[in-house]
Structure 1
């Protein structure tokens, strides 16, 4: 890390980054993102099922629509808010880390991703992530199959209040902090390694996508946190399952029943999700931010001419 430089003036809030983040994340979840999320969640909650079994059971629950359980409205609400929060918060923290603290691009990317991930969890993701998990894991009998997702949310709120709808939010915060800290940080380190000695060289599109792919794949080292998060939010019933779990009691429960390998159930679809999501948010976000910045610069140049 370089020596801190003199503090610079605060750059204006970028409302464009908020809109771009929301648009990119909504596109991501509406295409391949939600199917990967559903399979990953199923495997993390039903740790005896392998990938092929999870795909078969998901299809049996509702055909192709089964892979999009929880998309409307919860994943759309989550995506349209958390994407904006992520790009806005990570961009602002990244800027401050570089200009005020004198951080390298990799360190600034790490700090920006961690801060953006935490902001996501506590502002928008708590109840949405919980309800998506409930929709994937709840038992659907003849009596409950047609029960609307709003009815389910209402029942949870009546029983447990706001805290019930945000069950597992601390695990979500740890996951998001390590997720985006790793994704942004590893992607920036990869970009640095690809550039080599020429620090000013612009990366090709292929090199930037490769950096995002590596960042998304390697960020899945924290899969145990994700399995704990899913178990805490799961609606699946088990006679010996503790009623009010925290991160530590949940980890003990998983280890007692599934051993160390239980913490890595669902890692394959999660790697696919991480790669796709990081390409969308890091490569796609960088590309769109650059496009709008250049367009704004041309507009300002034309006005001053």
Structure 2
């Protein structure tokens, strides 16, 4: 999900000095991802995933069940090791891919909004297929598998992963990766694009040009807008969770594809089933985008000033 992307300095349709992607910037992406997921990110993720997998539950019921599973630590299920592994790798992938694509798009003459959207989409796809598939699947397994009773209750997270691999091979531990890719592509296309659009709108409202940077609160506000409005693709997220869920339900297709999963959700929960978990995902989207766009830009500026510019 999430990463700080270096804002290209190009004016649409012109040639600009290209910002170098170096190890310092890759480290910024990884660090901000770790901060985001370890603070509010994983609790939002757990609540969102629970509601998407248990579509009969409301928010209050979800809080109660999650707390009963493990107290406060129940809201951090899947954080160690899967969310940490995912966060420490996907940020580097996204910062590289999205910033390079956004730079090229701006240089070709498109608007900052379009360039941000194209860069975010490309970065999201790269992120999903290189680092996120397995980790996202295992996070969902940890959140949805039963732990209170039965043989699997005694299995560690690595034993569960090994068991799935033995039974289903590489496809099994990457189950739902195509849905993850669609989600990340639309997530970061929207988040980065809408954040750039919000930044440009703020500049127009205050009557300044693009050369003058936004202040901290303006940057946070633009990022929050971009992250919050990106909730439109919640149906894709519900499909992704259902494909990766370990909950057993009578009549549920054994071999899940995006198409038959969507039919199953419609059959069992109707249209509203595709929007379960929207509220925590709204909060998650805002927090991720604030951390990774506003926070990431600020951290990159600090690193570049202290250790040398790109």
Query: Shared topology, TM-score over 0.5?
Result: yes
Instruction: Tell me the TM-score normalised to structure 2 length.
Output: 0.91
TM-superposed deviation, 1:231:
0.2
Q: What residue in structure 1 maps to residue 140 of structure 2?
A: 133
| Equivalent residue for 1:246, pick from 257, 262, 274 | 257
C-alpha distance in 1 between matches for 2:17 and 2:117: 22
- Structure 1 residue runs of 5 or longer lacking an equivalent are 301-305
Matched, 1:116 2:123: yes
| Equivalent residue for 2:63, pick from 40, 46, 55 | 55
RMSD (CA atoms): 1.7
| Equivalent residue for 1:214, pick from 222, 225, 231 | 225
- Structure 2 residue runs of 5 or longer lacking an equivalent are 1-10
Q: What residue in structure 1 maps to residue 208 of structure 2?
A: 198
Q: What residue in structure 2 maps to residue 232 of structure 1?
A: 243
TM-superposed deviation, 1:134:
0.6
Q: What residue in structure 2 maps to residue 67 of structure 1?
A: 75
Aligned length: 296
| Equivalent residue for 1:145, pick from 141, 149, 153 | 153
Q: What residue in structure 2 maps to residue 105 of structure 1?
A: 112
TM-superposed deviation, 1:292:
2.7
TM-superposed deviation, 1:90:
1.2
TM-superposed deviation, 1:3:
7.2
Question: In the superposition, relative to structure 1, how do residues 11 and 198 fare at CA in structure 2: closer, same or farther (>3 Å)?
Answer: closer
C-alpha distance in 1 between matches for 2:55 and 2:48: 10
Deviations along 1:193-220, whole A, 9 cap, x unmatched? 1100422332121111000111110001
Deviations along 1:243-301, whole A, 9 cap, x unmatched? 11111110010001100000000000001111111000010111122233334557x9x
TM-superposed deviation, 1:58:
0.3
Q: What residue in structure 1 maps to residue 270 of structure 2?
A: 259
C-alpha distance in 2 between matches for 1:211 and 1:4: 24
Matched, 1:172 2:183: no
| Equivalent residue for 2:94, pick from 68, 81, 86 | 86
TM-superposed deviation, 1:118:
0.6
Range with bigger deviation, 155-164 or 81-90: 81-90
C-alpha distance in 1 between matches for 2:283 and 2:13: 38
Aligned pairs for 1:17-36 (under 5 A) are 17-36=25-44
